[in-house]
Structure formats: C-alpha cells, structure tokens
Amino acid sequence: MEELRIDVYGRVQGVGFRQFVKKQADAFSIKGHVRNAGDGRVAIVAQASRKQLELFLARVQGGPFLAKVTEVSYAWKKPVRRFDDFVISTDGGFIRDQAHSFANLGKHLLHGQDAIPHHVCVIPDGNRRWAKDKGLKPWEGHRFASSSERVLALLEEAKSLGVSHLTFWAFSTENWQRDKREVNELFSLLGRGLKKFKKEFIVHKARFRHIGRKDRLPEDILKQMDELEEATHLFSEINISICLDYGGRDEITRAVNRVLKRGKVEISEEELARELDTTGIPDPDLIIRTSGEQRLSGFMPFQSSYAELYFIPVHFPEFGPDELREAVQEFGRRKRNFGV
C-alpha cells in the first residue's frame, strides 16, 4: 500500500468537488480523506496500490462539471497511519464548512486565480554586499537576513496575500567554493534558525520542505530538516521550501540518472517532472531576485518556463513585507499567455 497526497487548485470549493473526489475514491477502493484548505484549494490524502492511486489521480484532475481545476500538485509518501474508509472532512461543522467553501468560491470568481501567484520563489541576493556597505563581515549579512523575525514577517505577508507556496534559495551547489569560514557560519546560522522555525511553523501551520542535495550537507542540518518536514507534513495553510545545496543543472542530472538506473532509455516531460526535487510542488509563478542582478543563475530551469521574473535593486536584508507585496501586485498586473 502507498499513500498519495494531492493538492488541487482552481474553482474547487463550493462546487461539489469533494463529493466528486469521494465518488472516485470509492470506485477505486481507496481509503483516506478529502478536505477544503483555508487558502481555497482541496487537499486529499489517499491510500491504495500505486496503480489504483494513479488512476484516481487522473480522474481527480478532471473534476465535476462546475469545477475548474487549474493546477494539481502531488507527492508520494510512506503511510504513517492507515485509514479504514474514505471520508469528507469538515472544519467546525457542516454550516461553518459550507460558509468557508462558498466564501472561497466567491473570492475565486471575484479576483480570478491568476491575480495571486500560487508559488513565489525568492533568490535572496545581496547579503554580503549589504554587510560590506556597513563595514561588517559577510556572515553578518546572512545573520541579519535569516533572522526568524524577518522570515516570519515574509511568511505572514505571503499568507495574507493568498500565496500558498514560498521558496527561498539559501545555498547553491556553487556556494561551496566560498570562504570556508563563511560557509561554516552560514550552516551554523541555519542550524540555530531551524530550531526556532520548528515552533513557529507549527504555530502558523506552515509545511516545510527541503529542495536540493542531501549527500553533502552536515548531518545535524539534515536531521533537523527531516524532523521539521515530518512535524509539519500535515499542514496546508502555507508551504515553505528552502533550496539548500541546490542547482538546477545538478537537479536535472540527478533526476535523469535515477531514471537511467531503472533501465529506461527514454523519458517523458511528465516523468522527468516527477523525478525532480520539487515533485508535488507547483511550478513557480513568480521569481523574485533582490540586489539588482537580472539573471536566474540556474534556479529551477525546468520548472520556471512560464514564471514571471521580478528584479528589485534592494539587497535582501532590506527586502521585507512591503517589497513582497509590491512584487505580488506587479504580478497581478501582468498578462500571462502561456504560449497561446
């Protein structure tokens, strides 16, 4: 038995989508539950054989007549507990649940799904330049930029704006070439930060994920990230990802090599997407880079095909909720054609 967790975005609340999902689950003898998340999506946990779950996933992506599915993200997991049936979960009773469903449906119809980016990525550039301008050591810039107060302020602003996924690129595969003391200080800061974030992420019901290599990071950092992922994996208010020892070319190379080791000689675009570190996470809608540099430097080359790019001259230590809000507002003013 395997477990599949699915997040469905679009016009999916207040239109009978959960009843549709339960009907499909019963048809495939699938156990688990479906519920409406506070940010307007529908979250599903399903348990069955992989073949049953793959068929179920294909059905879910269609939706009932009144629904409009704009995006589906999913992740395969090892079951932590077994479900005896498939149920529709409600929050605070039927009346309250229905009120929230129709409220989220109204927001969707009023504002449209493209006005707010589902997934915002931040390339936090300029920490060292900020520190140099102030006569400080490079790691002092990292320390100020990574303070829990600043990160949580950005998290809270993202939630208030309706962003469901927020990703930070903290350390690239090329950053190992930096001064050894700076690298050590950065990981020391990260270790202390993870301890603080565990409590805060639970309070904010924020789900945490690590994106990047796991074979070269310090063991204590890996352990803390694994514990944080496990402690928050059921949350859905907002998703926070950190790209650590991450590089886009490295990610694609590792993904292709995994496929080759299974004996395949050809791979589809969909199969490659499932092998990437970001499997289960929607592609970026908006990528923000601070400090004036206007390039992606290898950040998510496969996933960012249709991402909107936003470059801001301020160094990341000076990038706060106001700047994040301005970037999201600029995104809402742009027209996305997706090649059409």
Q: How far is it, in rounded angstroms, from Cα 324 to Cα 334?
A: 16
| Contact criterion met (CB below 8 Å) for 167 and 243 | yes
At residue 138, the 3 state secondary structure works out as helix
* Type and span of the H or E element at 189: helix 180-203
Place of tokens 């038995």: 1
Tell me how far the alpha carbon of residue 320 is from its chain's centroid: 20
Pick the catalytic residue from 39, 125, 245, 283: 125
Structure tokens at 226: 């694994």
Q: How far is it, in rounded angstroms, from Cα 245 to Cα 126?
A: 18
Query: Which 8-state DSSP code applies to residue 247?
Result: -
Q: How far is it, in rounded angstroms, from Cα 144 to Cα 137?
A: 11
Q: How far is it, in rounded angstroms, from Cα 194 to Cα 151?
A: 11
What one-character-per-residue DSSP string does 80-103 give? SS--SSEEE--SSSHHHHHHHHHH
Does 239 participate in catalysis according to the annotation?
no
* Beta strand spans in 189-285 (E): 206-211, 238-246
Question: Which amino acid would we find at residue 308?
Answer: E
Does 175 participate in catalysis according to the annotation?
yes
Tell me how far the alpha carbon of residue 123 is from its chain's centroid: 15
Catalytically annotated residues: 125, 175
